[in-house]
Amino acid sequence: MQVALVGVSGYSGMTLYALLKQHPAVDQINLYGHAGSQPVALKTVAPMYQKETAVIRPFDAQAVMAQNDLIFFATSAGVTSQLALPLIAENFPVIDLSGDFRLSNPAQYTKWYHRAAAPAEALAKASYGLADFNPTLTTYVANPGCYATATLLGLAPLVQQQLINPNSIVVDAKSGLSGAGKKLTPTSQFAMVNDNLQLYKVNQHQHIPEVMQQLKKWWPAIPAIEFTTTLIPVTRGIMSSIYVKAAQATTTATILAAFEQVYGDQPFVQILPAGEMPTLKDVIGSNNCAIGVNVNPVTNTIFVVSVIDNLMKGAAGQAIQNFNAYFNFAPTTGLPTLPVFP
């Protein structure tokens, strides 16, 4: 099988390229860059691939469809809404790691991403690939965002089984620096990130509407969430700390049973025993999500901690998981299930 990849020079794109190189069903990876650009050797934009002979060629939709079985976009917001339309028109398989097709409402995309949305008829053809819930995938798969993945996996059993007060969801999410991409900004310099914590996009993060879109599909009664994001001085990883009020008095054992019921057969979601909470080291380098649960009977609060590697489960790893589902490969094919430690 031959697959195409646009955006190999970014962190998610590099991670995806490495996973595809090890995937047993992938025989050839064809790399593409900006339309109209000159071909460039991969090793010139990704020095760690000095022994690779791959070349990044200019994007051409017709060439992509003629030479490949599927295309991955690991690009910034605003790119696939322009490049992918000919592929959508031909129902060519796409897995998109950007946010351009996650939101079904064009007005919501414009509000949160501050740019023009893809045409409504194109958005309607996309499916949201939250992979651990075995979604029905269309030929255009919108890969979920990293914060959204960690948060939705942490909330799903509570929301689906209506175990909480729908007005009470508070999410305190923290991410390593690689989640911001390679572009240097004043807040991403070493002097600002090291020995520091930085709140950003408080209740304005672009992953909020996709979280809400999915939560409302599970339970329309949820009106909104409180969602805070913090940049922490680590390279990769997301920790989503979730606080909700229980609908009625409950116990940690009861809530853990609800999580086990939902995720018991999912190879990438690990529910920790009572009294244990996950750390980033539990998942870094793997496609896993580790979840810990605790109930405070005094405050009637359910506390959930959900951790993922933002470049794996939050991006490239989940993209491969969706790739496996689309072509009916085993879910774990080509994906690491053990973290890198220490």
CATH value at residue 200: 3.30.360.10
Phi and psi at residue 280, in whole multiples of 5°?
-60, -35
Which residues are tagged catalytic? Answer: 146
Pair (194, 285) in one structural domain? yes
Nearest to 155 by CA among 246, 223, 271, 244: 244
**Spatial separation of the C-alpha atoms in residues 57 and 41, rounded to whole Å:** 9
Q: Tell me: the pLDDT tens digits for 235-247?
A: 999 999 999 999 9
Q: In this prediction, what percent of the chain has a pLDDT beyond 70?
A: 100
- Structural tokens at position 29: 């990876």
Among 109, 166, 94, 149, smallest CA distance to 283 is for 149
In whole angstroms, give the CA distance from residue 305 to residue 315. Answer: 19
3-state DSSP assignment of residue 239 = strand
Q: Domain check: are 155 and 241 in the same one?
A: yes
* Same domain membership, residue 231 and residue 157: yes
Residues whose CB is less than 8 angstroms from the CB of residue 142 and which lie 6 or more positions away in sequence, other chains included: 96, 99, 100, 101, 102, 126, 127, 128, 129
Q: Indicate if 113 and 28 belong to the same structural domain.
A: yes
Six-digit token string for 312: 């794996």
Q: Is residue 227 part of a domain?
A: yes
Q: Within this chain, do residues 155 and 288 fall inside the same structural domain, yes or no?
A: yes
Contact between 99 and 126 (Cβ < 8 Å): no
Looking at the fold, whether 173 and 244 belong to one and the same domain comes out as yes
Q: In this structure, is residue 120 part of a structural domain? A: yes
pTM to 2 decimal places = 0.96
Beta-carbon count within 10 A of 331 CB: 17
Q: Do 118 and 254 have their domain in common? A: no
Is there a single domain that holds both residue 15 and residue 151? no
Q: What pLDDT shows up at residue 91?
A: 97
Local mean pLDDT, 10-residue blocks, the chain (342 residues): 96 96 98 86 88 93 97 95 96 98 96 95 97 95 98 98 98 93 83 93 94 98 97 97 98 98 97 97 98 98 98 98 98 96 86
* Cis ω before 342 (30° cut-off from 0): yes
- Indicate whether 92 and 52 sit together in one domain: yes
Amino acid identity for residue 5 in this structure: L
Q: What is the pLDDT of residues 22-53, one digit of tens each?
A: 999 999 999 999 877 789 999 998 888 888 89
Which one, of 308, 307, 297, 309, lies nearest residue 255 by Cα?
Answer: 297
| Ramachandran sector of residue 251 (left: φ over 0; alpha: ψ -120 to 50; beta: rest) | beta
* Angle, in degrees to the nearest 10, between helices 252-263 and 146-160: 110
Range of the domain at 53: 2-124
Q: Is residue 271 part of a domain?
A: yes
Whole-number pLDDT of residue 186: 85
279 and 239 in a common domain: yes
193 and 277 co-located in one domain: yes
The SS3 of residue 194 is: coil
Same domain, 174 and 225: yes
3-state secondary structure at position 182: coil
How many Cα atoms are found within 13 Å in the side-chain-facing hemisphere of 275? Answer: 0
